């Protein structure tokens, strides 16, 4: 009898029951979500009469995506020419760009240094000079 009680104590029934209960709760919660998904899926109405495929008569459709009716109402897109990039020598203007970036960075550092030195807490205390 003592072997049997030792065996049940060594099983750690609380942990096993907790795992089974958590698994049951997960299965139950996912099982309850299925009817809501079915309701959501059934509310989607697929109207196959509006589908356009090859051989379809587009003007007969209620809502053609882009057909003869809508093509006239759409604004024409302006065709602007794109700039031509010279890819033969990519290092040609690299020094100029680095120099410009360095000038921008140094002006920022100079501005922040000037503003920091203009602060009153950076100046010497006149009371200590007496």
Which residue is listed with tokens 């990519």?
90
- Which residues 6+ apart lie within 8 Å of 118 measured at CB? none
**pLDDT of 19:** 92
pLDDT score recorded for residue 54:
59
pLDDT per 10-residue tile (average), the chain, 130 residues: 81 87 91 70 60 59 57 70 74 79 78 74 71
H or E element that contains 16: helix 13-42
Q: Look at residue 51 in the predicted model and tell me its pLDDT.
A: 56
What residues contact residue 116 under an 8 Å CB cut-off, 6+ apart?
122
97 vs 100: CA distance, rounded Å: 5
Map out the domains of the chain as residue ranges: 2-42
DSSP 36-54: HHHHHHHT----GGG---T
Tell if the pTM clears 0.75, that is, is over it. no
């Amino acid at each position: 009898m003592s072997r049997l009680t030792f065996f049940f104590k060594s099983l750690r029934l609380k942990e096993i029951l907790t795992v089974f209960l958590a698994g049951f709760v997960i299965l139950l919660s996912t099982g309850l979500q299925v009817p809501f998904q079915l309701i959501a899926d059934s509310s989607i109405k697929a109207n196959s009469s509006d589908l356009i495929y090859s051989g379809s008569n587009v003007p007969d459709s209620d809502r053609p995506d882009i057909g003869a009716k809508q093509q006239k109402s759409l604004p024409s897109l302006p065709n602007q020419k794109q700039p031509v990039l010279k890819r033969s020598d990519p290092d040609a203007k690299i020094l100029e760009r680095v120099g410009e970036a360095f000038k921008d960075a140094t002006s920022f550092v100079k501005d922040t240094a000037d503003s920091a030195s203009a602060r009153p807490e950076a100046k010497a205390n006149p009371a200590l000079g007496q």
